[in-house]
Amino acid sequence: MGGVVVIGAGVGGCYTAFRLAVGSREVTLYASGHRVGGRIWSVPVRGGGWAELGAMRLNTEAAPVMALLKHLGLAGALVPFSFGRPENVVRTRGVLLRQRDFAHPTRIPYRLGKRERGSNADELTLLAVESVVPGFGRLREEYHRAVREGRDADAASVRARYRSAHGAALVQGEPLVEVSWPRVLASALSPEALRLVADTDGYDLHPGGAAAWIDVLFRTPPRARYVTLSCGMEALPRALHTRFEEAGGRTRRGRRLCRIDRAGGTGGTYELTFAVEDQAGRDTGRRERVRARTVVLALPQGALRRIETGPGVFGPSWAEDLEAVEPVRAAKLFLAYDEPWWRACGLRAGRSTTDLGLRQVWYEPGGASRLLLAAYPTGPSASLWDRFGTGPALGEPASGAMFDGGPPATAAAVAHAHRLLCRMHGVQAPPPVAACWQDWGRHPHSGAWHVWRTGRDTERVAARMRAPSPGGSLHVVSDCWTEDPGSVPGALGCAEQVLQAHLGLSPPPWSS
Ligand SMILES: Cc1cc2nc3c(=O)[nH]c(=O)nc-3n(C[C@H](O)[C@H](O)[C@H](O)COP(=O)(O)OP(=O)(O)OC[C@H]3O[C@@H](n4cnc5c(N)ncnc54)[C@H](O)[C@@H]3O)c2cc1C
């Protein structure tokens, strides 16, 4: 009862548990399922490399994460992560372009306005933001230069100037905070430019709030350098979990929190009810009850929604705050081939985009030379794959052997994806030999990541979510309600805020 109970063994829960245990607290980590890592899931590929079913890259400017990786002895495993490349494909409106073709407006099958011509999806997006928050591009450049050079006071001053421009921004007379992201794009771009962004950005336009999304763009460095872990991204939560147990922490796997009550109806103690799961993650019907004074719910929105609560657990704004963010669906389909046929098209790394249902194609991701991240649909595009949801999987048990422990894809989904890949690249490639499919919109998940809805005071909601239980020590650690939703830095940043502001920990020694 005197210790801390942390629920959820994703990177946020593992980090919180590790920090508390190293700080000599008695901690028990409860994990539904039997895998550590949550939305970081690295499936080993036979012959080397990883299929990253969840998070796959980190931005090197995320200093706390880089410092943590160094502290954990993982910095040596960081390798460059390739993103856009001039030779990569943009296949849209039936035309096969290379990214470098955007410099030649006549090749682009969209009737763009004069100031839009020559711009790709990223550049058009920035054009739209600039028209709403004048000076955005310059301020972003200045801010990130100051961050890179360690000039903290300058960075804070540029950020304040940006905040003031952002606070004053109006879209067709309405404050930015009340306007959705698609509306900002529609207000600033011609219909054809908007279509180009929607078709070729790779990610479906999300319906979230413009103000919070422009903040995310501001915090993303202009020419971001991305890295990944050559030993798989899951090495991060695993290393945290190992250190947690080495520091005396205890893990209870196969325990899904299903109910929270205020014990005895009063005081600062919680009674937690767990459903006991079997190895396959099925509810055995057994229930386990635990009492704790300090509880950390390291869970995303969907998981929190599913927990029943007794009276007085959460304050009056809980229900509204919980719904302040909106889940974004995403799925990943990996295909393995006997030969990397895409190399003959001059493609070896990074991503291509398309208006076809694949949306994004990544070449040889995770260091696996015969692998494609063949489809990465998000939002409404992910739903287009629902029709392939059931049926026989491709080549089992071969697919199981190629992707060690990865969820299989149905043969129909694989055949469809392969057809689209051939169309996209203008080739007749031999069929794939194995496949792996993960849909983060399906049970037990409710979304891959989240975006803030319009009209929310993000800072106030985030602060309330970190301490949502009046008079008690119950906290939410999650990337969902942060300034970096949908990211590992968001989850870790939120954990640090809870640890320092509510659980009495000092900043970690490796961060100085
Ligand atoms: C497809 C995809 C791509 C992404 N790409 C990137 C990227 O490139 N870079 C990046 O930084 N971020 C990326 N992200 C986001 C990143 O993965 C998340 O922000 C981060 O992993 C969130 O960690 P978390 O611990 O907060 O939550 P989660 O990882 O969701 O962990 C929650 C844990 O709680 C468990 N759980 C759920 N319900 C219960 C319950 N009732 N009781 C007990 N346990 C429970 C879950 O099983 C899970 O283990 C991506 C995510 C996805 C899905």
Query: Residue 66 is which amino acid?
Result: M
The tens digit of pLDDT for each residue in 120-142 reads 999 999 999 999 999 999 999 99
| Continuous segment of H or E residues that includes residue 484 | none
Structure tokens belonging to residue 415: 């055949």
Q: What is the pLDDT of residue 500?
A: 98
To test the pocket of ligand 1, the residue of 5, 7, 39, 206 to mutate (highest count of ligand atoms within 8 Å of its CB) is 39
Q: What is the pLDDT of residue 402?
A: 85
Whether the Cβ atoms of residue 214 and residue 132 lie closer than 8 Å to each other:
yes
Q: What is the pLDDT of residue 280?
A: 87
Q: What is the pLDDT of residue 265?
A: 60
Q: How many whole angstroms from 247 Cα to the centroid of ligand 1?
A: 24
Q: What is the pLDDT of residue 2?
A: 63
How many Å apart are CA 331 and CA 379, to the nearest integer?
9
The tens digit of pLDDT for each residue in 75-112 reads 999 999 988 889 999 999 999 999 999 999 999 999 99
pTM: 0.96
327 close to ligand 1 (CB < 6 Angstrom): no
| Continuous segment of H or E residues that includes residue 64 | helix 63-71
How many Å apart are CA 322 and CA 475, to the nearest integer?
13
Q: Which atom of ligand 1 is nearest to the CA of 331?
A: 1
487 close to ligand 1 (CB < 6 Angstrom): yes
Q: Which stretches in the chain have pLDDT values below 70?
A: 1-2, 265-267, 395-400
- In the DSSP assignment, the letter for residue 221 is -
How many Å apart are CA 203 and CA 125, to the nearest integer?
13
CA-only gyration radius of the chain, Å: 23
Q: What is the pLDDT of residue 396?
A: 52
Q: Which atom of ligand 1 is nearest to the CA of 12?
A: 25
Q: How many whole angstroms from 169 Cα to the centroid of ligand 1?
A: 33
- Omega prior to 468 cis, within 30 of 0: no
Say whether 281 sits in a helix, a strand or coil.
Answer: coil
Structure tokens belonging to residue 378: 């998000």
Structure tokens belonging to residue 510: 């490796």
The tens digit of pLDDT for each residue in 346-374 reads 999 999 999 999 999 999 998 888 999 99
Q: How many whole angstroms from 40 Cα to the centroid of ligand 1?
A: 6
Q: How many whole angstroms from 429 Cα to the centroid of ligand 1?
A: 35
Mean pLDDT, the chain, integer: 94
How many Å apart are CA 333 and CA 167, to the nearest integer?
40
Q: What is the pLDDT of residue 39?
A: 98
How many Å apart are CA 248 and CA 244, to the nearest integer?
7
How many Å apart are CA 197 and CA 378, to the nearest integer?
14
Torsion, CA 396, CA 398, CA 399, CA 401, rounded to 10: 120
How many Å apart are CA 382 and CA 387, to the nearest integer?
11
Q: What is the pLDDT of residue 286?
A: 97
